[in-house]
Structures are given as C-alpha cells and as structure tokens.
Chain A
C-alpha cells in the first residue's frame, strides 16, 4: 500500500509538471489551431535559464547551494524566467506564425518545426551537447513519513506542487473569469466575429503566447530544480509526453491538459514501479491509442462543432 502511495506521489508530481507544459500546447491550439512544436523548446530554454541563474547565485555570488538564501533567490528568479520565456514565445508568434496566419494550415506548422530546431540549436550553443547538472539549491529533505518509517515526500515535492498548482489554478481563473480571458475564448471560437465585436485579435493571440511561454518557463524552473539537470534535448523528451497529455485530455481544453498530464505521469510512474521501466513508453502510448479509439477528441473535448 505504501509502495502504491509513493509511486502515486511521484506520478502526480511528474504529472503536474507535464500538465504545466501541456497547457501551452493546448492554449495555442485552442486559439490558432496550430500545434506549436517550438513550445517544448521554449520550456527547454526555461531549464537553461534556471541553470544559469543558479550558476550565478552559487558560483557568481558565492552563496552555498544548500542555503535557504540560494533557494529563495532562485525562486525569486521565477518571474524573471517566466517573463523571458513568455517574451521568446510571443516573439516566435510575431516572427514565424503571424505572417503565415492566412496561409494554408501546413505552412505555420512547418515554421513551427523550424522554430523548434532553431531553439534546440540555441540550447546546444548555450548548454553544450550533454546534460548539465544544476546546482542542488532545492533541498531534498524528507518531511512526511509513512507509519513504517519510510519517507513519503519531502520539501522538494512540496515546493514543486506549490509552484505548479497555483499557476494552473491562476490560469483557469484568468481564462474563465477575466475580461482578457473572455476575449481569448471569443477569439478561439471565431476569430473574425470577435474582431468585428471590437476584440483586438492580434493582441489577444500575443497574450495567449505570452501566457503559454510563461507557463513553459515556470515548468522549466521546476524541472531544472527538481530533476537537477538541463539538456538541449529536453524539448524532445518532455515535449512528446506533454503533447501526448494535451491530446489525451482533449487538445484545446485547459482542465483536460492538466488531467492528461496527471494521467501520463501516474501511468509512467506505475509502470516504472510495478512493471518494467523499458516498457513504460509502450504502455503510455498504447493507452493513448486506446483512449483516442474510444474518444477520438480526448478525455475532455471542447464542444467545437465548427472546427475541422
């Protein structure tokens, strides 16, 4: 039982991180019907920025990695990193997608793949070809124990959850309850009509990319600290999982992306723990196929009859 709960905890933590990245795919798809292949690479840059931030704090300023101050300063860097990735994501939209907005649908898709390669190579330039260890600023102290005395979860999991969950809730609130969020939903439903209603469509789309990029940056920080590494191919590794999560949850649906992330995270953790690690991707993708056979639109598909 304890083993099950422990594996579930790992799955939920990983799943929320995947969900945070998946949100970005879903937000952009919802509004533009574009799969932003570069999204996971923006996330990868988020892990790289976190790496440089911790290097600056620990090596540049000489603050010991294990100190609370180092952790505090790193978490203080979160909004800065989110702003940077948000800016990058919005610039990508401005440079690579907006000029192609009225082109056939495959054209922006190709420019998205192109941007993904560009960002990967930027990551390669910044980080070099191999995984880089991030300074261990996130304490690994175990806090909560099972009755048997085995560790259940620690400060690191609590910090991860206290970054991811509020962000996911805040996004839900923003899209569901604010004026700007309403504009985003309207633009998603019918770009032309919302333009006629006085919504600045370009601004709304830019805002969507800003938010998606910010979420990717936050996920980047969490991954760099929690997994302790950064790597220029993180975009591929995490991108595949989070894109799967977005499709699984019903692409375009915010709650769906989070649920999809949790599903992927939990299934992967259970498979690693109780079946065999080398079968994990087989199991995750087989389940994806099964879900899509019976619910082709994903678990929580939006009612979007007007969409192809």
Chain B
C-alpha cells in the first residue's frame, strides 16, 4: 500500500469537503448606490454559538440605520473563516475571504476576525488595498503594539508602508494578562503554573501573564504548551501536580481541547485554582468541561453584556427582544460596536461626496482612524494611533452552577 497516495487522497477529499459560506443582506435603500460591509468570523464549529450573536448584533446595528449610511445602501455579507472539518477557523479560508474582499470594489469595511491568528493573515492582504478592518474580538497585542510580541511586530502586518488599516474595539491581552496576574494574586495564589495552547492568541496571553506574574507577587513554577489535538492531559496534570501550585493559568481557546484539559487538571488536583482568559468565556466550554469548570476564574477584556449601562443596556434590551433564542455572549456587544463604528465612519466619509466607492473607502479608513469620543454601547471611547480602544476596564468572572457569573472589575 502506497502511503503517499493515501495522504494525497485524504487531502483531496478534505478539500472537497471544505465548506463555503452563506450570506445575508440588509434591507432599505439609499440614493447614492450600494456599498458592502463584510464580516469574517468562524461560522462553524464550537465558535458558532458566539459568532451567531456577533452576526446578529451587526445586523441589528445596520437595521437600526434602516440599512442606509450616508446615503448609501449598506449590503452586509456574513463570511465564514472556518471549515466544518476543522471545527474552527482555518488559514486557507481566512486568506480566501481577504483575497475576495480585495477583489470587491464596493467593499468599504471588513469586520473581523474573531481569532487573532486569522487576523494576522488578513490584515496585510487588506492593508495593501486600504480596506479598513475592525475586529470585535482579536486581543493578541502584537497585531497593533510594538514590543509586546515578536520583534518585527506589528510592522510586518502593514507591509510596504501601507496605511494602518486595523482597529479593534476590544482591549488587548497585554492588559488582560496583567489583569489575570493581579487577580490571581488577589485570590491569594503564590505559586502558579502557566499553560498555553501554542497558538498566537493563547501563547501571547500566557506570555504576558508569565511576564507580569513576578511583579504581582507570584512565582511561576513552570511553563508548558499543550497539543490541542491530544487525547488527554493526565500525565501533564501529574507533572503540574508534582510542582504543587496554588493556581494553574491556561492561555488558550475552547477549541484547543480546553474542556479535556480542565477535566484532567481537576482530577489530579481537586483543590487547585484554575484561571483562563476570554478564549474560554463561552457556554460551549462549560458544556465541554462539565463539572470541572466549576469555580474557574476567567478574565475578560471588557464588561459582560448585563453589566453595560446607558446605550449598552439599550442594545442588550433591543438585542434580546429581536433574538430571544441567542442570548448575548461575551463579544456580542463588541460586534455591535464594531459595526456602529464602521457605519459612523461611512456617514462621515460620505459627507465629503467622494467620487466613487474607492474614494469612499479611503474616507472611511481615515474616519475610523479618527474615531474620537465615540458614544456607543461600551461607553465613550476613542481609537489611539495604533488602532486600539481607549477602554481598559477588565472584568473577572467565576463559573458557578454551570454559568458564568460576573465577580468584579479588575483595575
């Protein structure tokens, strides 16, 4: 039997099964013609529950404007950057979405991505054409900030000196990792063990936690990367147990087997504190970890939906009225905010009467970059020069009775 042939065949079959995406449009009509907004989010796999609510929030933001911004009819396409076979975001699919976006002259803004690793691929592609990209959920610091990730970050994402086109309405992990370390110290932990899932986001946030831990008064006993496709982590849990930590921190996402990891850690160490970042702040993770999720501490780079006030509370009310079956998840309000920022920028850019959609796109990019004191669902905030939000409030959540419960604001 020829093994190489088997491999090729498997690859061909896998490609054939890679799924494509659906789309949905906004209604209404504007006098100046049609423009497009795309989102690129993982619409299959276990992130679907979360991305469903983000897509709903984007639709809600557009509908509140009756589908028109600055006299243009806004057509929204919901692109998928995941495959059914992978069950999570996929490199080739995200690159395809970005390349399709570049080929579409009517496109003025790209909302996404959900995963930082995916953003890494699409930012440079979109940057070349000056397509603004607003992410509701990427938190890896190196995408915008120098000195927080690898040496050539973030410049390598904006090649050939193209104008910075990437913005995010959520605070980055250099703040969340620090918040995690501070919270761990506040909970009385002294010795911590740090794990990550070896992906951009997970390793990034675990690195920050690792770096900030000594400053917060914590001793890091060890650092390991896990294989998200491994079948179990029992031996790893034994290794961690032997170092006798008070708290284990995991930087990573549900989709990289965090449920199994929690189960094996809990089995080996019934009384250790477990902490994770927003990558596991989703109901799917609790469903996977079961009993083992109880009592877990989870940080989030913002406030949960039910703690929002003012316009945020209005958003949650309107959202629940329209989508009673998809209650808001951690990033729902951020999806709404990303869409709101884009629509406000389109209105501002359209006021200058651009000649065509390409000129409008350039205007939108400039207007997003200049977003200042935007009064939205998350509060009043601005984008700084790097494209990061001025909001820095972090929240700590605890799993109780199979649900996430807001615990405290971490300063």
CA distance A105 to B44 in the complex (A): 34
Do the beta carbons of A136 and B290 come within 8 Å of each other?
yes
Is B291 at the interface (CB under 8 A from chain A)? yes
Provided the pairs A272-B239, A273-B238 are in contact, do residues A106 and B230 lie with their beta carbons within 8 angstroms? no
Q: CB-nearest residue of chain A relative to B86?
A: A233
Most buried by A among B10, B231, B242: B231
9 new A-B contacts, CB < 8 A, other than A131-B260, A268-B235, are A110-B13, A131-B259, A132-B287, A227-B260, A228-B263, A229-B288, A229-B290, A277-B236, A280-B230
CA distance A274 to B238 in the complex (A): 10
Provided the pairs A131-B259, A272-B239 are in contact, do residues A281 and B229 lie with their beta carbons within 8 angstroms? yes
Minimum C-beta distance from B22 to chain A (A): 16
Is B407 at the interface (CB under 8 A from chain A)? no
Is A114 at the interface (CB under 8 A from chain B)? yes
Ranked 8 nearest A-B pairs via Cβ: A133-B290, A130-B46, A278-B225, A272-B235, A131-B288, A269-B235, A273-B235, A130-B284
Minimum C-beta distance from B15 to chain A (A): 12
For A268, the chain B residues whose CB sits under 8 A away are 230, 235
Residue from the list A128, A133, A278 in contact with B224, Cβ < 8 A? A278
What are 11 sample pairs from A and B whose C-beta atoms fall under 8 A apart? A114-B13, A129-B48, A130-B259, A130-B287, A131-B259, A227-B263, A229-B259, A269-B234, A273-B235, A276-B225, A278-B227
Minimum C-beta distance from A266 to chain B (A): 10
Provided the pairs A133-B287, A133-B289, A272-B236 are in contact, do residues A281 and B230 lie with their beta carbons within 8 angstroms? yes
For A273, the chain B residues whose CB sits under 8 A away are 235-236, 238-239
Is B4 at the interface (CB under 8 A from chain A)? no
Do the beta carbons of B238 and A277 come within 8 Å of each other?
no
For A229, the chain B residues whose CB sits under 8 A away are 259-260, 263, 288, 290
Is B1 at the interface (CB under 8 A from chain A)? yes
CA distance A281 to B227 in the complex (A): 8
Binding site for A on B (CB under 8 A): 1, 5-6, 9-10, 13, 17, 44-46, 48, 84-85, 87, 198, 224-227, 229-236, 238-239, 242, 254-255, 257, 259-260, 263, 267, 284-285, 287-292
Do the beta carbons of A117 and B13 come within 8 Å of each other?
yes
Residue from the list B1, B13, B45, B87 in contact with A35, Cβ < 8 A? B1
CA distance A237 to B13 in the complex (A): 18
For A276, the chain B residues whose CB sits under 8 A away are 224-225
Minimum C-beta distance from B260 to chain A (A): 6
Q: CB-nearest residue of chain B relative to A273?
A: B235
CA distance A124 to B263 in the complex (A): 22
- Please report which residues of chain A, range 225-243, place their CB below 8 angstroms from some CB of chain B when the two chains form the complex: 227-229, 231-233, 236-238, 241
Minimum C-beta distance from B241 to chain A (A): 9
Provided the pairs A7-B235, A110-B9, A268-B235 are in contact, do residues A129 and B224 lie with their beta carbons within 8 angstroms? no
Residue from the list A133, A232, A270, A272 in contact with B288, Cβ < 8 A? A133
Contact mask for chain A residues 1-24; partner B; CB cutoff 8 A; 1 contact, 0 none: 001001100110010000000000
Minimum C-beta distance from A296 to chain B (A): 11
Is A63 at the interface (CB under 8 A from chain B)? no
Q: CB-nearest residue of chain A relative to B46?
A: A130
Do the beta carbons of B232 and A14 come within 8 Å of each other?
yes
CA distance A116 to B44 in the complex (A): 19
Provided the pairs A113-B13, A129-B45 are in contact, do residues A272 and B242 lie with their beta carbons within 8 angstroms? no
CA distance A241 to B9 in the complex (A): 19
Is A109 at the interface (CB under 8 A from chain B)? yes
Do the beta carbons of A124 and B227 come within 8 Å of each other?
no
- Please report which residues of chain A, range 78-121, place their CB below 8 angstroms from some CB of chain B when the two chains form the complex: 105-106, 109-110, 113-114, 117, 120-121
CA distance A105 to B234 in the complex (A): 40
CA distance A229 to B232 in the complex (A): 10
